[in-house]
Structure 1
Amino acid sequence: MAGPPGRGGIMEGSPSSRDLTDVSRCLVTGSRPSQSAADVAGLLFSGVRGLVPRPPSESGDLTCISLTLVDRITSDLTSRSLSPALTPYCGDILTGLFQDMDLMSQLIHQFQAEDQIISHLAAKTASTCVFYQLHQSGTISPVWQQKCVQAFHSSTPGPELDACLWSLTEVLKRLLKGAHRDVVGTLLAALDSSLSALCSKFLPEDRKEGTVERLADVTSSSSRRRGTTLCLLLDLLEVLTASSLICGAGVCLRSQRMTHIHSSALLTAVSCSSQYFVKKRALLLLKRAVLQKAGEDWALGEDPPPTGLRHEHFRSDANMLARSVLTAVAADWLRSVQVKSASFFGGTRQVRGEEAPKPDCVMLRAVSLLLLKSMELCVQTAGATGVDGASEVSGCLQSLWVFLRRCSIQLTEDTHRCCWLSLLFGDQDDDMMEAAKALFSIFLHHRLCSGLDDVAVLEAACSSGCNPHCHFLLLLQSVSFDHSILLDFLISTETCFLEYFVRYLKYLRADWTGFTAACGRSGSSDWRLSLQQSHTASGGGDRLEVTWKGEQDGAEVSSRVQPAGVTVRLAAGCHLVEYDSSDQSDPENMEVSLEEPGPSVREKSRFSALDVKQEIVGQKQCESSDSEPNSTLERRQEEGPSLPSGRAACETLARAVLCMSELREVVTRLQTKKLFPYNPSSLLKLLAQVENCA
C-alpha cells in the first residue's frame, strides 16, 4: 500500500523505518547502535522533517520518536548521565545535527505543525537544544531567538505562537535554576520590545472603552485556542516576574515587570474571561506576584535576594499592583468574580441529597490573599507617607467579607468574623500565615489611626475580622495547643510564621487583657459553630479530627487538627526536630497517639501541669474580675449567653500559656545543644515576657 504523497510510499518494515526503531531501542537501553553516528544523525534529521518512509497507519509516530530521541540525547549529554562509551558517540550525533544539518531550523519549522503533539515535542526539543548549546558555546541559538521575536511581534494565536511561548518559558526556567542570571539578562534584553508588544495585544493597559471587549475577544469561548495561548502567556509572565526576584538589581527590564504593569488588565481578565481556567490562572498569577512568590512551584532552592538587592522599580511596582486591586474592589470588581464548585480528580464532584456544594477554595483563598496583601501594602505605604488609608481599607475588607459570604454558605452573619481566617485557610499553612500577617498589619494601622481606646479598638477589630488575639488563639486551637507543631513552623522556611510570631508576641506582652478577653470569647456560640463547620467550609479536604476529654470539673476539651500538613506530621508521629535525640528530653512526653479518640500519652502526661497552671491563672483572673469596675462587670453580664463561664476562659488561657511555656523550654534546650538553625535569643526573651504576663 502506498503512503501519503511526499512520504515515499514505502511498505511497513522498510529498512529506514526499522533502522530508526532500532536506534531508539538501543539508545533507550543504553547500548550503542550498529550504525555510525553520521548515519543516526541522518535518520533523526529525516524523522524530524517527517521524511522517514512509513506506512499510513503510523501517521506522525516516527516524527514523534525522532523528536523524543533528539531530546533524550541532548538532555543526557547536558546532564552528563551517559556512559563513557556513549558520550562521544552521542556528541558526534549532535554535532552532525546542529552543525551540518541545521536541526534548529527544522525544529522551529515544526512549531507550526497542526498536530499539537508534534508542535509541542518540537518546542520541548528546541528548548533542550538551546540549553545544550548554551553549555557548549555560551551563546543562545540565534535562529530560535529570532523566531520568538517574530512570533511575539505578530501576536497571532496559533500553534507557532504557543510553541514559542512554551519554549521561552522552559528555557528561562532552566536558566534561572542553573544560576545563569547574566544570560537571562542578555536574552530578555533581545526580547524585551517584542514581549511588550505581545502583552499589549493580549492584556491592554488602558481603561478606555473597548478594553473589556478586547479581552473578551482574546478569551472568547468560540476560540479555546486563544484561551490556551493566554494561559501560556500567563505562565511566561510568572517566570518573568520570578526572574526579577531571582536576578535582583542585576536585571531590570520592562518585560520582567509586565505582571505589575498590566495588573489592571489581569484583574479584568479574572472577571471578564469566558473561560474559568483563564480566570483562575490569572488570579493565581496576581496572588503569587503580590506575595512575591512567583515561581515557587519550580524555583527550588532559588530564594529571592534580600530587599536591598531588588530592582529600582520594585516598591513602585508593588504599590501599583496593590493600588490596582483596591481600585478594582472599589469599582465592585468582586461582584463579577466567578467561583465555581470545587473540582476533584475526574471533574466536579456530584452533590448528594441535601449536601451543599463545595466552593472552589483555591479561588476563594487567592481572592482573599490578593486583597489582604494589597491592603497591607496600602497601609504600609500610608504609614510611610503619613496618609490615613483606614477608611479605604475598611471598605475593602467589608467587601471581601460580603464576597466570601456570597460564595460560601458556611460563612454566615452569625459566624464570628475572626474565625473566617481559620475556616478559609485552615488546610494551607503558608497562606494562612500570610493572611494572618496581613490582617495584623491592617489592625495595627487601624489602631494607630482610630484614636479609640484599646477595648473599643478590639471590638471594632472583631467586627472587621482582624483581631490578632482571636487569630492567634484560633491557630493554637487548630494545632491542639501542641507546642511541637509551633516549633516546626518556627524552623520551617515554607511559611512566614517566624515574622508573624515575633510581631504578635511584641503586641501580646503590651495587651494581655485583650488576649484574656479573646480566651473568654472562644467559648461563644458563634465561635464554636465556626469550628464545627470548618471541615465543610474547607472545600472537602480530608483532615484528622482529634477529640479528647479531661476530667476537669466535668469540662470537655475538644480540638481539631485543621492544617493538612500538620495532620500528616501528627499522624506520622514525627517532627522536623526529633526531641528523643536529646538526652534532656522526656521520651514519654514526646509520644503522639491518634489511634483512639481518648487522650494521647502526651495529653495524659500534661494534665497535672495543666491543672496547676489553671489554678494560678484562674486565681489571677478571678482577682482581676473582683477589681473591675461595676460598670464593666454589668456590661459583660449583659452580653449574656454568648460568653462562656469564667472557668472555661481560664482553661483556654492556661492551655495557651502552657503551650508557649513549653515552646520556650524546648527552644532553649535546642539552643543549648546548638541544634537550633538560627539565634532565637530575641524570641526566647519575648516568650519569657509573655509568661510573666500570666
Structure 2
Amino acid sequence: MAGLHGERFDRLTHAYRCFLAGSCPSQSAAEVAGVVFSGVRGPAELPGHDSACARAGARCREGSAELTCVSVTLVGIVTSLTSEGQPAELVRYCRDTLAVLFQDLDLMTQLVHHFQTEDQIISHLAAKSVSTYVVHHLLESICTNFQATVSPVWQQKCVQAFHSSSPGQELDGCLWSLTDVLKRLLQAAHQEILGKIVAAFEPSLRALCSKFLPEEKQRGMDFTSCDRWGTTFCLLLDLLEALAASSVICGAGLKSPRLVHIHSSALLTTISCSPEYFVKKRALLLLKRAVLQKAGEDWASGEVLSAGRRHEHFSTDMNKLAQTVLTAVAADWLQSVQVESASFFGGNKHSDGGQKPDCVMLRAVSLLILKSTELHIQAPGITAGVDSAPDVYGYLQSLWGFLRQCSVHLMEVKHLCSWVSLLFGEQDDDMMEAAKASLFIFLHHRLCSGLDDIAESEAACVSGCNPHCHFLFLLQSVSFDHSILLDFLISSETCFLEYFVRYLKYLKADWQGFTAACERVTKSRCHVSLQESFTFSCAGDMPALTYTGEPDQVEFSSCVQPSGFIPPADRISLVAGLPLVEYDSSDESDAGSMEISEDEPGPSVCEKSKCPAFYVKQKTFEARQKQHESSDSAGLLSEPTSTVKRRPDGLSLPMLQSKQRLCTHMAPLSGQVTLARALTCLSELRQVVTRLQTKKLFPYNPSSLLKLMAHVENCSQQSPVSLFNK
C-alpha cells in the first residue's frame, strides 16, 4: 500500500510542478486524470484495498488524507489554468484533463461527497475546487451554446442541504461553495449568469433562512445547541452579504438578494440573544454594511457595485430595515447588546472597568442607528413638522446612553459632539459616514423644531449633533492640515466630498454658529482618546510624555519608547494640534500632489500625504522645540549636565522646566486661534484645489466646490479674525 501511495504521490507531484512551470506533464491528460480521480476517491473506494487499509491502520488513513488533499488541490489548479493568458498547448491539455474528470469519470459526485467528510481541510478544499469548476463550467457553457448551465450534481447537493441539513460539515461546504461562486461572478460582473444562479437556488435559500432566521410570527428550529452552529451561521451571513451585493446586477423579481432586509428583525434578535459573541459581531457588521449600502465592499469591485442598478424594491427594503432598527431601539434593544473588551494579539481581556471596549462593535451600532435615523427621515411618509422633531434626537440620546454604558472613558466626555471623532477616529470612511448622517439629522431637526439658530445649536450640542463642532474636531484631528483634506477630497474611499459640500452650504448660512462653535470647542474639555491618554516619544532618548486629558497634567513616563514609535492603541489621539491617525493617501492624489510641490518649499504635499500623521507629529514637535529653545535656551541649554539639580521626586530641573513649558503649550487654544487655524486650512485647501484644476490634474470638476469655498471666505471677511485680507 505504501508503494502505491508513493507512486501516486510522485505522479501527482510531477504534474503539479509542470503546471506551476507552465508546461504539460509527460503523461497524457487521461493518465493524469486517472491518478487525480483515484486520489480524490480515496483508497478505501478502490477494489482490493479495504483489507489492506484496515491492517495498515492510522498510517494508511493519514496517507489517504494527504493524497486526497493533493488531488483535490490539483483539480483547482488545472481548472484555473484554462483561463486566458496561458500557453495554448497547456490550455488544451487542461481542458482535456477536465473533460475526462468531469464527463467520463463524474468527479463532481466525488467532490461534493467530500463536503460531509470529518476532515475539515479536505471538506474545504473540495468546496473550493467545486466552486472554481462551477464558474469555469458556466463560462464555458455560454461560449459554446450561449446558455449558462449549472452543474446539476452540485446544485442538487446544495438544494438538498439547504432544505434538510442541520449545522455541520455538509451544510458548511454547500454554503461556502455557493458564496464563492457568487463572489467570483459578481467580481467579473456576469449579470446573466449571476441572475441564473440566484434564481436556481431561490426556493432553497428562502427555506434555509426560515430555519435559521425565522420571522417574528414564525418559530424556527433552535440550532444554538449544536457544536458547529456558530460556524454555519457565520457562513450563512457571508452568503447573505454576497446575495445583497448581487442585487445591483441581478434581475428584478428575485427575493434572495433582499433576504438581509426581509430578515432584519431576526438578525437584530441574533445580535442580542446569540450565545456566541463572534456571531453577534458578524450579524451586526452585516446589518451595518446593508444600511450603508456597502455589502460586498471588502471583496467586490467598487466599479461593479457603483455601476449597478438598484432593484425596484430597494427603497422599500431600506425603509423597512431602518424602521426595524429604530423600533428595536425604542424597545430598549440596545440594553441587550453585548460589547466585550477589545481583542489583541493573545486573546481577549475581560473588562475590569478600565479596559478599552470593542470599538468595532461600538462603531457598528452607532452607524446602524445613525443611518437608520437618516433613512427614516428621508422616507416618503415623513413630513417636516414639529411633532417629528423630538423623536430624531431621542434615538441619539439612546445611542449616547449605550455608548456611555459600554465605555467608562466616554462617560467623562463633557462635550458630546466629540464622540464622533473619539469613536470613529481609527476609521476614516466610517467617521465620514457618521458625520454626514449627523449633519443630515441636524438639518432635519433644524427645519422641524422651529427653534432659532442659537437655541438649535445648543440643543444640537446637548445631543452631540452640532455639525460645526464635528467639523472643528475633524480639523483638530488632522492638525488643520489641508493636504489631508485634499486626500479626502480626491479619494473615493470615503464620502467626504458629499459631506463637505453639504456642510459648506450650511456653514455659509450660519457663520455666526461656526464662530460660536470655535469658542465652545475650545472651552470644552481637551479632546482625548478612548483610553484617556496620549503617549508619544520625543526625539532621542527623552522619556515619553503621557497626556492625561487636562492641560496641567502632562507627566513624564518612566517607560521610554523607541524614537518615532507610537503605540497602536494610542493612535486615536485627538489633542488639538496633533494628528488623529496615520493616513495613507489614495493613489489618485499622487500626480496632483507632485504638481503642487513645485510651488511649495520644503517637502512636497505628496511626501506629507503618504504619511501625514508622522510628518505633522514631527513638524509639530520640532516647532515646539525651537520655540522653547529660543524663549529660554539660557536656562536650559547653558546649564552643564554635571551640575544638574534634582528635586526630591527625581525630576531634574531641565526636565521639570520642559514639563512646565509643555503643559503651557498644550493648553487648549483660544477660540480666536481655533477660528484662525480653521480659516487658514480652508483657504489653503481652496488654493491647492484651484491650482490642480488650472493644471487639469484634479480627478473631477471642482467648480461647484470652489464656489462654495469662495462664499465661505466672503463670510469670513465679517469675522473678527480675517486671514483673507492679506
TM-score bracket, normalised by the shorter chain, equals 0.7 to 0.9
Match of 1:364 among 362, 365, 373: 362
Note if 1:72 corresponds to 2:64: no
Shift of 1:392: 2.5
Alignment deviations for residues 311-354 of structure 1 (CA, whole Å, 9 cap, x no partner): 11101100110011011111111111111111123322589xx9
Preserved CA contact (<8 Å) 1:176 1:184: yes
Specify the code of the residue in structure 2 equivalent to 1:284: L
What aligned pairs does 1:532-543 form with structure 2 within 5 A after superposition?
A: 533=532, 541-543=569-571
Shift of 1:597: 6.0
Shift of 1:133: 0.9
Which whole-Å CA distance do the structure 1 matches of 2:406 and 2:703 have between them?
A: 44
Alignment deviations for residues 133-165 of structure 1 (CA, whole Å, 9 cap, x no partner): 122212221221222222112142221111111
Match of 1:245 among 234, 244, 248: 248
Pair 532,403 (structure 1): closer, same or farther in 2 beyond 3 Å: closer
Shift of 1:452: 1.0
Which whole-Å CA distance do the structure 1 matches of 2:384 and 2:283 have between them?
A: 33
Which whole-Å CA distance do the structure 1 matches of 2:625 and 2:240 have between them?
A: 49
Preserved CA contact (<8 Å) 2:167 2:223: no
Match of 1:224 among 219, 223, 227: 227
Q: State the match for 2:348 in structure 1.
A: 348
Q: State the match for 2:11 in structure 1.
A: 19
More divergent stretch after superposition (36-45 vs 298-307): 298-307
Preserved CA contact (<8 Å) 1:580 1:587: no
Which whole-Å CA distance do the structure 2 matches of 1:595 and 1:453 have between them?
A: 41
Q: State the match for 1:321 in structure 2.
A: 321
SS of 1:560's equivalent? coil
Alignment deviations for residues 598-643 of structure 1 (CA, whole Å, 9 cap, x no partner): 56689999xxxxxxxxxxxxxxxxxxxxxxxxxxxxxxxxxxxxxx
Preserved CA contact (<8 Å) 1:271 1:337: yes
Which whole-Å CA distance do the structure 2 matches of 1:646 and 1:454 have between them?
A: 26
SS of 2:522's equivalent? coil
Shift of 1:227: 1.2
Q: Which structure 1 segments of 5+ residues have no match?
A: 1-8, 548-557, 606-643
Shift of 1:207: 4.8
Shift of 1:655: 0.8
Shift of 1:30: 3.9
Shift of 1:187: 1.3
Which whole-Å CA distance do the structure 2 matches of 1:340 and 1:73 have between them?
A: 45
TM-score by length of 2: 0.80
Match of 2:672 among 631, 650, 657: 650
Match of 2:65 among 57, 60, 84: 60
SS of 1:440's equivalent? helix
Match of 1:90 among 94, 108, 120: 94
Preserved CA contact (<8 Å) 1:473 1:519: yes
Preserved CA contact (<8 Å) 1:155 1:201: no
Pair 487,389 (structure 1): closer, same or farther in 2 beyond 3 Å: same
Which whole-Å CA distance do the structure 2 matches of 1:323 and 1:47 have between them?
A: 54
Match of 1:122 among 116, 121, 126: 126
Which whole-Å CA distance do the structure 1 matches of 2:355 and 2:529 have between them?
A: 18
Which whole-Å CA distance do the structure 2 matches of 1:581 and 1:295 have between them?
A: 35
Preserved CA contact (<8 Å) 2:237 2:283: yes
Q: State the match for 1:290 in structure 2.
A: 291
What aligned pairs does 1:375-454 form with structure 2 within 5 A after superposition?
A: 375-381=373-379, 384-386=382-384, 388-454=387-453
Q: State the match for 2:482 in structure 1.
A: 483
Q: State the match for 2:177 in structure 1.
A: 167
Specify the code of the residue in structure 1 equivalent to 2:428: D
Which whole-Å CA distance do the structure 2 matches of 1:652 and 1:25 have between them?
A: 65
Q: State the match for 2:704 in structure 1.
A: 682
Preserved CA contact (<8 Å) 1:416 1:530: no
User: RMSD over aligned Cα, in angstroms?
Assistant: 3.1
More divergent stretch after superposition (91-100 vs 288-297): 91-100
SS of 1:522's equivalent? helix
SS of 1:234's equivalent? helix
Which whole-Å CA distance do the structure 1 matches of 2:324 and 2:216 have between them?
A: 12
Pair 285,647 (structure 1): closer, same or farther in 2 beyond 3 Å: closer
Preserved CA contact (<8 Å) 1:378 1:389: no
Shift of 1:687: 0.3
Preserved CA contact (<8 Å) 1:71 1:128: yes
SS of 1:465's equivalent? coil
Which whole-Å CA distance do the structure 2 matches of 1:368 and 1:489 have between them?
A: 22
Q: State the match for 1:585 in structure 2.
A: 599
Shift of 1:99: 1.5
Q: State the match for 2:546 in structure 1.
A: none
More divergent stretch after superposition (507-516 vs 84-93): 84-93
Q: State the match for 1:254 in structure 2.
A: 255
Note if 1:156 corresponds to 2:147: no
Alignment deviations for residues 530-572 of structure 1 (CA, whole Å, 9 cap, x no partner): 699375999953528699xxxxxxxxxx5121134x2x459x9
What aligned pairs does 1:269-280 form with structure 2 within 5 A after superposition?
A: 269-280=270-281
Preserved CA contact (<8 Å) 1:241 1:257: yes
Preserved CA contact (<8 Å) 2:476 2:574: no
Specify the code of the residue in structure 2 equivalent to 1:123: A
Pair 446,306 (structure 1): closer, same or farther in 2 beyond 3 Å: farther
SS of 1:292's equivalent? coil
Preserved CA contact (<8 Å) 1:185 1:251: no
Pair 603,365 (structure 1): closer, same or farther in 2 beyond 3 Å: farther
Which whole-Å CA distance do the structure 2 matches of 1:588 and 1:320 have between them?
A: 54
Note if 1:512 corresponds to 2:511: yes
Which whole-Å CA distance do the structure 2 matches of 1:49 and 1:113 have between them?
A: 12
Which whole-Å CA distance do the structure 1 matches of 2:138 and 2:443 have between them?
A: 51
Preserved CA contact (<8 Å) 1:545 1:559: no
Which whole-Å CA distance do the structure 2 matches of 1:259 and 1:528 have between them?
A: 38
Q: Which structure 2 segments of 5+ residues have no match?
A: 54-58, 143-148, 536-548, 550-565, 609-614, 628-665, 717-726
More divergent stretch after superposition (170-179 vs 104-113): 104-113
Shift of 1:251: 3.4
Shift of 1:119: 1.1
Note if 1:235 corresponds to 2:235: no
Which whole-Å CA distance do the structure 1 matches of 2:345 and 2:210 have between them?
A: 36
Which whole-Å CA distance do the structure 1 matches of 2:161 and 2:64 have between them?
A: 28
More divergent stretch after superposition (375-384 vs 662-671): 375-384
